[in-house]
Structures are given as structure tokens and as C-alpha cells.
Structure 1
Amino acid sequence: MRKKVLDVAEEAFQARGYHASSMGDLMATAGVTGGALHHHFPTKKALALAVIEERVAAAVEETWIQPVRMAPSAREGVRSVFAAVAAELERQGFVRGCPLNNLAHELSLADPDFRIALAGIFSAWRQVIADKISVDQQAGRELGTDPQRFAALAVASYSGAMSMAKTAQDAGVLRDCLMALEQGVMSSKTGTRRRNRILHRAL
């Protein structure tokens, strides 16, 4: 029963939003009584926190964290996620948006507990990319890349692209943003190498 309620709440929060989803509607859709619902989730806030901590965090883990960890490099991991998500969105024919983004936009200022839970997921997402860059650097790659800044840019690019894709109902913007991200990073690295050569000659 707990799983069924979480399934219904997750779907409702993504489709309609937290504030537009009443507990009565959730009970009716899940086919549970008020007593059964409140046994597992005493308040709507408790239900939302469970969705964030158990479902949204799991989605980011599956979509981003594990693929980046398993990728040959950070850059290849980021590229593969963008491509896989774009392909899946095109296959399904509509864009609902990033589950984390959707709730972050609605709830971050609504309650500090929501903000902290959502920020924790963003932090873990960024950190896995930064850690992968550090591993790449140990292997002699990405030596001109700041791990934390690259991670922040990758997450921000994806989050912004998903918001734009949701509004336009066009997954192609993910590929556009990936291309811009890669070109921007490469340009930055080229500039860093040029500055380093100039500095070396000056010394």
C-alpha cells in the first residue's frame, strides 16, 4: 500500500504539481482510505519528502549518477546521459521535464525541509561528476578542467535544457545544449593551455 501511494503521489506531483494535488485526490486514485494513507504518511509534507528522498533521488541515481560512474570518462558520461535522455523523450513523444527540476521550482521556497532535501540531491549529482573529472585527471586527462565548475555547468546545462524542452515539447534542445557545453569547455581548455604557454615563455 505504501508503494502504491508513492507511485500515485510521484505521478501526480510531476503531472500537476505538489500544491495542485490534494490528499483526497491521491487517496481516490490510490484506492486507499484516509486512515491507511495517514498511517504511512501523516501529512502531505511527509508524503512529498518521501517522494523526493525515495523516488526523485532514485531517478537521478539511475539517470545520472550510475552512468557517470560507469563511463570511461566524465565527458563521455555526460554525453551519454544527454543523448540517452533525448532519445527516450523523442521515443515517448512528450517531455514532462526533470523530476528534480519540477519539484525544485515549486517547493524550494515553500519549506526549508523541501529545499534541504532537494539541494542534497543536486549536491550528490554534482559531486559524482566532479569526482569523475578528478579520476580523469589522475589518468592525465582534463588537466585544465576545474572539477567543481565543470560539474556545476553540466548540471545547470541539463537542468536548463530540460526546462526548455518541457516548455517547447522538443527534446532537440538537449542536443543543442550538449553541443554548446562541449564547445564551451573545449574553448575554455584551449584558452587555459594558451595562457599557460604564454606564462611559460615569459618565465
Structure 2
Amino acid sequence: MTKKPASGRSRTNDPAGVRKRILDATADAFQKRGYHSTSTHDIVRAAGVTAGALHHHFPTKKVLALSVIQERVAQAVDKHWLEPVRSARGAQEGIRTAFEQIASALDRSRTILGCPLNNLALELCVADPEFREAIEGIYDNWRKVIADKLRADFAGTFDADALATFVIASYSGAIAQAKARQSTAPLRSCAEQLALHFRSRRMPKAKDARASRP
């Protein structure tokens, strides 16, 4: 017969599953309430684990938060931004797809909670250098993926890293406004303006530029 601890929760020999539940519950709590307003008691209750199990996997709240940033927030950025950009025929298509998929998903949800990376960056980066390093690492990778796609698409003298930074900053501002308004209109408006910006640059595709050389 399975023994139960005093809390009434069943003990199971599934450390990987317990760890996953803790990370999922914590990521959800941080997204809804933020790091500082989420207690370890909140996490224990939401994950359905004992305090001992929580501290076994994550000795401190900071260790847990860093794991959430590295394993859940980075994963979300990869799924919703990096993969659409990587798999698109070009940077503009990938950026447009990312905006559209995110806006459509938010239209189906009842509440817009914002970008998890942006939310934690605003809350944690000034206070702690380890949080800042982990969060900036995700931004760096995000920027690199977009910049690499831009370089593959366009020839000429332009700063791909600066343009990628502009795209991310535009999205971050738009998702913050969407959260404030509880509407995806800022995201859709931003996507349209970025498309106009790309068209106005009229940068030739790299392959076309090479073909025009004597």
C-alpha cells in the first residue's frame, strides 16, 4: 500500500515528474503574480508536492527562479519566436508569423498576461546580476536568430543586430500595451508597422544582389 505523508499527498517515485510539476507551477505563478509576490508555499500548493520535495529539487527560491528562466521562459521564446523565424522562408515572414500566432492565441484566451521574459526582466534584472545574466542570455539568442535570418535575406550595408533589437523592442512594447489594454490590437498594429518598415527599406535580397554583379 502506498504510504501518505502528513499532508495527505501520495509519495511517488517519480523525481522527474515532480520536478516538472514544480517548474510548470512556478512558471505559471510567476506569469500571473510575479516573482516577489509568489511564495514557496504558493508553489508547494499549486504543484501538489511537499515542501521537502520542493527543497530537494530547488534548495532556494532563487535557484528555482533561475531554472524557470532557463527551462521554461527560454523554451517559450524558442517555441513562439525562434522556431517561426528559423522555419520561415525569410525574416519578414518569420516575424509576421510570430506576431500572428501569438495574437491569435491571445485572442482565444481570457486574459493577456504579457511576455514572461519581459515581465521577469522588468522585475528582476536591476536587483540581481545572476537573474540579469540569465535573462539577457535569452534576449541575446533571440536577437541572434533574427539577425542571422536578416543577413541571409538582405545584402547591403545595414546593421542586422540593430534591426533585430528594434524588432524585439517593438514586440516587447506591443505586448506590454496588449497586457495593459487586454487587447491584441497593439500587437497587430505593431506587426503592420514593422511590415511597412521592411518594405520602405527596399533592401535587395542577397541572392539578387549577387546575380546583378558583373
TM-score where L is the length of structure 2: 0.83
What is the aligned counterpart of 2:81 among 35, 41, 64? 64
Letter matched to residue 48 of structure 1: A
Mark the runs of 5 or more structure 2 residues left unpaired by the alignment.
1-17, 205-214
Work out whether 1:126 is the aligned partner of 2:139.
no
Give the Å deviation of 1:144.
Answer: 5.6
Work out whether 1:20 is the aligned partner of 2:26.
no
1:176 alignment partner in structure 2? 189
2:23 alignment partner in structure 1? 6
2:210 alignment partner in structure 1? none
Q: Distance in 1 between matches of 2:38 and 2:110?
A: 25
2:159 alignment partner in structure 1? 146
Give the Å deviation of 1:145.
Answer: 4.2
| Deviation readout 1:64-116 (Å, 9 max, x if unpaired) | 11110110000110011111111111122321111111111111112100000
- 1:127 to 1:79, Cα distance in 2 relative to 1, 3 A: same
2:211 alignment partner in structure 1? none
Give the Å deviation of 1:46.
Answer: 0.3
SS in 2 for 1:148: helix
What is the aligned counterpart of 1:45 among 57, 62, 72? 62
Structure with the larger helix share: 1
CA RMSD of superposed structures (Å): 1.6
SS in 2 for 1:45: helix
Letter matched to residue 50 of structure 1: S
CA contact (8 A) 2:92 2:198 kept: no
Q: Distance in 2 between matches of 1:87 and 1:29?
A: 28
2:52 alignment partner in structure 1? 35
Which stretches of structure 1, 4 residues or more, deviate above 3 A after TM superposition?
142-145
Letter matched to residue 157 of structure 1: S
| Deviation readout 1:140-178 (Å, 9 max, x if unpaired) | xx5464311210111011111000000000101111111
Work out whether 1:156 is the aligned partner of 2:169.
yes
Letter matched to residue 3 of structure 1: K
TM-score where L is the length of structure 1: 0.87
Task: Pick which of 104-113 and 22-31 moved more.
Answer: 22-31
Give the Å deviation of 1:128.
Answer: 0.2
Mark the runs of 5 or more structure 1 residues left unpaired by the alignment.
194-203
Q: Percent identity?
A: 50
Work out whether 1:165 is the aligned partner of 2:182.
no
Q: How many residues align?
A: 187
What is the aligned counterpart of 2:117 among 72, 83, 100? 100
Letter matched to residue 124 of structure 2: L
